[in-house]
Amino acid sequence: MKALARSFFPFLIFTFVMSTFSEAYLPERRRDQFKGTPGYYIAPIPYRLTGIGEGVILLGAALNIMDTNTDAYGFAFTGDLEGFGAGVLDIHLIPETLILGATTERINRATLTSYTKRGMDTDKNDYTLIELGDIEFNLARLTATFFDRRFEIYGMGYEVSSALKNIREPDGAIIVDVQDPKRETGQNTSIGTRLDLTDDYQDPRKGVRLDISSAWSPPKSSSSPDYYIMDYNATAFIPMGKRSTWAFNYFRSDAYVMRTGETDRTKIDEELGLDCGTIVDPVDQKRCNQFIDNTIAANTYGTVGSLGGTSRLRSYSHDRYSGAHSLFYGTEFRWNITEESAPFNIIIMKDVRTALQLAYFYETGSIVDKLEELGGIMRSSYGAGFRIVTASGLVFRADVANGSEGVETTMIIGYPWEIF
Distance between CA atoms of residues 132 and 185, nearest Å: 13
Query: Count of alpha carbons within 13 Å of 343, Cβ hemisphere only?
Result: 7
CA–CA–CA angle 212, 187, 4 (5° rounding): 40
Q: Which domain does 271 fall in, by range?
A: 2-22+38-413
pLDDT value at residue 23: 46
Distance between CA atoms of residues 322 and 307, nearest Å: 7
Number of domains, the chain:
1
Residue 29 lies in a domain: no
pLDDT value at residue 12: 53
Residue 319 lies in a domain: yes
Residue 320 lies in a domain: yes
Distance between CA atoms of residues 130 and 132, nearest Å: 6
CATH number at residue 51: 2.40.160.50
pLDDT value at residue 16: 52
Residue 126 to residues 90, 268, 297: CA-CA distances in angstroms?
42, 22, 17
Residue 420 lies in a domain: no
Residue 126 lies in a domain: yes
Q: Which tens digits make up the pLDDT trace of 164-215?
A: 888 888 887 888 888 777 788 889 999 999 999 999 999 999 999 999 999 9
Phi–psi pair at 414, nearest 5 degrees:
110, 150
Determine which helix (DSSP H) or strand (DSSP E) holds 353, and give its type and residue range. Answer: strand 349-368
Phi–psi pair at 306, nearest 5 degrees:
-80, 165
Helix, strand, coil shares of the chain, percent, nearest 5, are: 15, 55, 30
Contact 37, 290 (CB under 8 A): no
Distance between CA atoms of residues 265 and 247, nearest Å: 46
Residue 346 lies in a domain: yes
pLDDT value at residue 332: 97
Residue 419 lies in a domain: no
Distance between CA atoms of residues 227 and 216, nearest Å: 7
Q: Which tens digits make up the pLDDT trace of 315-346?
A: 998 889 999 999 999 999 999 998 878 787 77
Distance between CA atoms of residues 110 and 131, nearest Å: 6
From 256, 372, 255, select the one nearest 323 (Cα to Cα). Answer: 255
Give every residue of the chain whose pLDDT is below 70, as ranges.
1-25, 50-51, 420
User: Coil, strand or helix: which one is 367?
Assistant: strand
Distance between CA atoms of residues 100 and 141, nearest Å: 6
Residues with Cβ within 8 Å of 373's Cβ and at least 6 positions away in sequence, in order, are 119
